[in-house]
Amino acid sequence: MARNPKWARDEIILALELYFRVNPRHTSDSHPEIIALSELLNQLPIHALKDTEENFRNPNGVYMKLCNFLSFDPEYGGVGLKSGSKLDRELWDELFTDRARLIQLAQSIRENHSAISRPGSREEEVADQEEEFPEGRVLTRTHKSRERNRTLTKRKKETVLTQTGKLACEVCGFVFKEKYGEIGDGFAECHHNKPVSELKVGDKTKLSELSIVCANCHHMIHKTRPCLSADDLKKVLI
């Protein structure tokens, strides 16, 4: 029988945010917030459905995850469950002292997940995982879908073309048309500079939040964790 998939970054972020509101030492898996998180985790578009078992992220599983965090918590004198994963530890270290960011991330994931579809297969899930930002898969995909918004990128390109007469990468200055001739005419990618954790449902992306970039610079921007803005990358250009 297949085992339930490992907890993803988004799921751990949500559990960690709940941990600081609901202390597992003083409650059980029948706490309404634990049941609510179990239901939310079952809806998140992260794991391919057929790879999950019936007991996937049930209230007991969520409760146990909260208990895992006890062993990391300096404010808890006792010994927590020792089975916390490497990623649990990593996220604890990253967010324990940055509670405001933790709350913001959890809130953004809660707000944005329903606009995203679930991966259809294990392969798609792995592809999502490989492209994942530190903010998790839901926000990564929300960000990318905004960058791929045709209407918006078209308007951005038109504006820049009118203003400057060409589509030059804001980082390195590359112009596809100058290198590739007609094939490159009108070609450029757009990067959305707004931090992923600040994405809100229904927010309109402003043209000023988009940067024209070449494909190389765009890859480099997304390679860093958390990803850079076009301006940040320009500073590291040699």
Establish if 169 lies at the interface with Zn ion (CB under 5 A): yes
CA distance 14 to 33: 11
**Nearest distance in Å: CB 196, Zn ion:** 10
Output 35 or 172, the one with its CB closest to Zn ion. 172
Least distance to Zn ion from the beta carbon of 143, Å?
Answer: 7
Q: For residue 179, what is the enclosing H or E element? A: helix 176-180
Q: Which stretch, 16-24, 101-109, 155-163, 190-198, contacts Zn ion (CB under 5 A)?
A: 190-198
Instruction: Kindly state whether residue 214 participates in binding Zn ion, applying the rule CB under 5 A.
Output: yes
Q: Is 212 in the site for Zn ion (CB under 5 A)?
A: no
Task: Tell me which of 171, 199, 212, 228 binds Zn ion, using CB under 5 A.
Answer: 171
Three-state SS for 167? coil
Shortest distance, position 227 Cβ to Zn ion, whole Å: 7
CA distance 76 to 73: 5
- For every residue of 182-210, DSSP letters joined together read GGGTT--EEEE-S-GGG--TTPPPPGGGE
Q: Which residue in 207, 196, 120 sits closest to 162, CA to CA?
A: 207
167 binds Zn ion (CB under 5 A): no
- Alpha-helical (H) ranges within 44-77 are 59-70
Part in contact with Zn ion (CB under 5 A); list of ranges 18-26, 110-118, 129-137, 209-217: 209-217
| 217 near Zn ion (CB under 5 A) | yes
Q: Is 156 in the site for Zn ion (CB under 5 A)?
A: no
The answer to whether residue 228 forms part of the interface with Zn ion (CB under 5 A) is: no
Report the C-alpha gap between 203 and 222 in whole angstroms.
22
Q: What is the separation, in whole angstroms, between the first and last Cα of the chain?
A: 52
The minimum distance between CB 79 and Zn ion, in angstroms, equals: 43
| Interface residues toward Zn ion, by CB under 5 A | 169, 171-172, 174, 191, 214, 217
